[in-house]
Structure 1
Amino acid sequence: MNKKILVAILALAALFLVYYLMMRPKPVAVEVVRIEPGEVKATVSNTRVGTVKACRRALLAPATGGEVARIHVKEGDTVKQNQLLMEVWNKDLKAQLELQEAQIRADEATAEQVCQLKGSAEREARRISLLQQHNQIVSEEQVDTKVTGAKAQRASCRAAQEAVAVSRASRNAVQAAVEKTLVLAPFDGTVAEINVELGEFVTPSPTGIATLPAIDLLDVSCLYVSAPIDEVDAPQIKTGMPACVSLDAFPDKRCSGSVSRIAPYVLEKEKQARTVEVEVKLTDPGELRDLLPGYSADIEILLASKPRALRVPAEAVLEQNKVLVMEEDGLLVERRFTRGLANWSTVEVLSGLQAGDRVVLSVGQEGVHAGAYAVAKNDPA
């Protein structure tokens, strides 16, 4: 080969190289992350916002209608179990109660008198019977009269004692009527709301018609979150599983809890996904101080976890468990992997990828696809 031909070949090769470099697409800048071991948790979360609720809540009202005579508490007060909260006008019933107490005392005195006479008549009957047995001059008629009188006094004593029992039962009936006019705290708690005023007339709620309670009592020492879980995720949840609670009112606060109840039915609402209501009880007393029933909250239930598992960010995963891996020369290659535990942030890699692989995070960016060339904005070591 002569020198001119060699020069021509080299010139053509140089022109081709220049053309290739000029026409080659400019590498796209992407964010990448190296796959490495770490903790992976499988969790499920609520589909719609949940609500903080009190473990015990009582909507209280008197058992009988009447005029509100006394309100012994105000909103925000802390009360003890059986403390009197409100009273409907009941002076007539209290007067009847006093009358019944007086009647009991009178009947008890009468019973004591009659029973004393019974004892005297029985002793007299025994004496006259002994005289007759010792051949004393005592007629049969006298003995019969004394014995019969003793029996009559015995019956009178029993009747007087039963009269006392009747009076006490009447007193108890009036006492029960008085108690129906009182509203007592069924447990230690905090008065959340009072919906009556002095002098108002209150009546029990008719069957099937909801009315405002006279007093709303909450036990804020025990709180739980009730939230809907998609029916697809619900079968994996068991009572006792640990859960984490986040609240919109406290963005930086995360509360610990455990699953305390799973509804035994699927909730069906029009135009909404079918869900199962799950309750998570907050287990740390120190986390309850600033919480109030009614706060919106989200729950994240831990199904399983691995402390050291190969993992990939969930945002890098494409359909059919695929990711884009950047080779050493910048070429983007699509790879499929087998997934294990997963949550909203990370996915466990069981096979198909290796530690150190550079996975593309910018999967939605224009120009990012298998076969393209890229450079890493952040070249992780």
Structure 2
Amino acid sequence: MRRIVIALLVIVILAAAAFWISRPKPVAVFVETVGSGSVEATLANTRAGTIEACQRTKLSTIIGGRIEYLGVKEGDKVEKGQLLLKLWNDDQQASSALASAQVTLAAKRSEEVCIAAVNAEKEAKRQAELRVRGFVSPSREETARTDAEVRRAACATAQADIAQAEARLKSTRVDQGRVALYAPFAGTVAKIVGELGEYSTPSPPGVQTPPAIDLFDDSCLYVKAPMDEVDAPKISVGQTVRITLDALPGKTLPGTVRRVAPYVSAVEKQARTVDIEVDFAQPADAAGLLVGYSADVEIVLATREKVLRIPTAAILEGGKVLLLEDGKLVERSIKAGLANWEYTEISEGLQAGERIVTSLERTGVVAGAAAVEEQAAR
């Protein structure tokens, strides 16, 4: 009997040892205490936005030709009205000189004809007086009056010739404007296509030809960013925006929505988006930024202060969370309010001070599993 008891004790001890050795080890999890704070509902752009200039133009001459004058280089600052580029146009200048000479000639002829007309009118008046006194015949008076009228008409024709010559001169000057590029505003030359002596070709309809000069004004900048079409109805002019740039890591600039495009952009192999334009709340923040920088925007739709919140990453599919209670993971349903990628407002299901699991991606983190808290490295 004694041997049987000893054998049973050995078996029990071995079984207990086997169970102890083979028991599932508690999974280590990161835990965060439920607390209060602010939560914002935000929207972010789907693809990187771009820093744009408020004024930017791509200039090309109306007609093609050989570049005779190139007065700027890439990166140069220019003033409004400054001549930037001109094509060879000696033929136009010759036509303009000829038209100018014709204006002068027409003026001289008009002066000659109109003086003769004035004299003819004086002679007609003198002949009329002589006829009244009976010194000349009525036919003589009629001849003098007719001559005066003819010369008066000739004077009017000569003056019309002056107007015609001036119009022709103006036309030649308009033609000269077809071969020259002037700065429509003060700005910076971004790019020049063509060198002195090369042939410059304008861009005909339907054909993408690079412009001769790309000019922008960097004294006024804004951000243009694409937003998902699903989010477009939530966006309106005047909403607060946070702007971040890869060129300024760790820095956030305030801004406001100034325009929402009235149409959806459909680009092949890309999601349909709506472009928005964002102004910098403090224009001085944009000083020194380069046109073309990539930028991201985060639109603030709503903000709530001092509400119960948890990290958004701690929420399971179906609106549930895991809590660490007495060494076990317990699942609980919650009701969420405002949310963003960082925090979610909790309306129901949790109390301040409870501990929720945030390391949901780890293997074995499921409801009912044994768990221990792992301290995050400082």
Q: TM-score range by the shorter chain?
A: 0.7 to 0.9
Asked if 2 retains the 8 angstrom alpha-carbon contact of 1:222 and 1:282, the reply is no
Instruction: Quote the residue 2:68 is aligned against.
Output: 69
Question: In structure 1, what is the Cα distance between the partners aligned to 2:270 and 2:140?
Answer: 96
Instruction: Quote the residue 2:365 is aligned against.
Output: 368
Question: In structure 2, what is the Cα distance between the partners aligned to 1:110 and 1:283?
Answer: 66
Q: What is the number of equivalent residue pairs in this alignment?
A: 360
Q: Which of 178, 184, 187 in structure 2 is aligned with 1:186?
A: 184
Q: Kindly state the Cα deviation for residue 190 of structure 1 after the two structures are TM-superposed.
A: 0.6
Alignment of 1:1-381 (within 5 A): 27-133=26-132, 135-327=133-325, 329-377=326-374
Cα gap change, 1:318 to 1:125, in 2 (>3 Å): same
Letter in 1 for 2:64: G
Letter in 2 for 1:95: A
Q: Kindly state the Cα deviation for residue 157 of structure 1 after the two structures are TM-superposed.
A: 1.2
Question: In structure 1, what is the Cα distance between the partners aligned to 2:295 and 2:39?
Answer: 24
Match of 1:85, SS state, is strand
Asked if 1 retains the 8 angstrom alpha-carbon contact of 2:202 and 2:211, the reply is no
Match of 1:280, SS state, is strand
Moved more, 334-343 or 366-375: 366-375
Match of 2:30, SS state, is strand
Cα gap change, 1:191 to 1:249, in 2 (>3 Å): same
Per-residue CA distance 1:99-154 (angstroms, 9 max, x = gap):
22222122122222322322232233234334444x44332112212211221121
Letter in 2 for 1:126: K
Match of 1:110, SS state, is helix
> Any gaps of 5 or more consecutive residues in structure 2?
1-12
Per-residue CA distance 1:217-245 (angstroms, 9 max, x = gap):
12222333333322222221123322222
Letter in 1 for 2:101: A
Question: In structure 2, what is the Cα distance between the partners aligned to 1:310 and 1:116?
Answer: 99
Q: Kindly state the Cα deviation for residue 359 of structure 1 after the two structures are TM-superposed.
A: 2.2
Q: CA RMSD in A?
A: 2.6
Q: Kindly state the Cα deviation for residue 27 of structure 1 after the two structures are TM-superposed.
A: 4.6
Q: What stretches of structure 1 move > 6 A for 4+ residues in a row?
A: none
Per-residue CA distance 1:203-230 (angstroms, 9 max, x = gap):
2223322122221112222333333322
Match of 1:122, SS state, is helix
Letter in 2 for 1:89: W
Asked if 2 retains the 8 angstrom alpha-carbon contact of 1:57 and 1:219, the reply is yes
Question: In structure 1, what is the Cα distance between the partners aligned to 2:328 and 2:131?
Answer: 133
Cα gap change, 1:139 to 1:283, in 2 (>3 Å): farther
Question: In structure 1, what is the Cα distance between the partners aligned to 2:137 and 2:268?
Answer: 98
Asked if 1 retains the 8 angstrom alpha-carbon contact of 2:203 and 2:209, the reply is yes
Match of 1:44, SS state, is strand
Match of 1:244, SS state, is strand
Instruction: Quote the residue 2:6 is aligned against.
Output: none
Match of 1:355, SS state, is coil
Match of 1:93, SS state, is helix
TM-score (norm 2): 0.86
Moved more, 182-191 or 226-235: 226-235
TM-score (norm 1): 0.85
Q: Kindly state the Cα deviation for residue 82 of structure 1 after the two structures are TM-superposed.
A: 1.8
Question: In structure 1, what is the Cα distance between the partners aligned to 2:199 and 2:286?
Answer: 37
Per-residue CA distance 1:247-272 (angstroms, 9 max, x = gap):
22222232333323333333344544
Q: Taking every aligned residue pair, what percent have the same amino acid on both sides?
A: 47
Per-residue CA distance 1:55-108 (angstroms, 9 max, x = gap):
332222211111111100111101122210011011221222122222212212
Cα gap change, 1:308 to 1:158, in 2 (>3 Å): farther
Per-residue CA distance 1:338-375 (angstroms, 9 max, x = gap):
22221111112222223333222122223333334444
> Any gaps of 5 or more consecutive residues in structure 1?
1-14
Letter in 2 for 1:73: V
Asked if 2 retains the 8 angstrom alpha-carbon contact of 1:57 and 1:217, the reply is yes
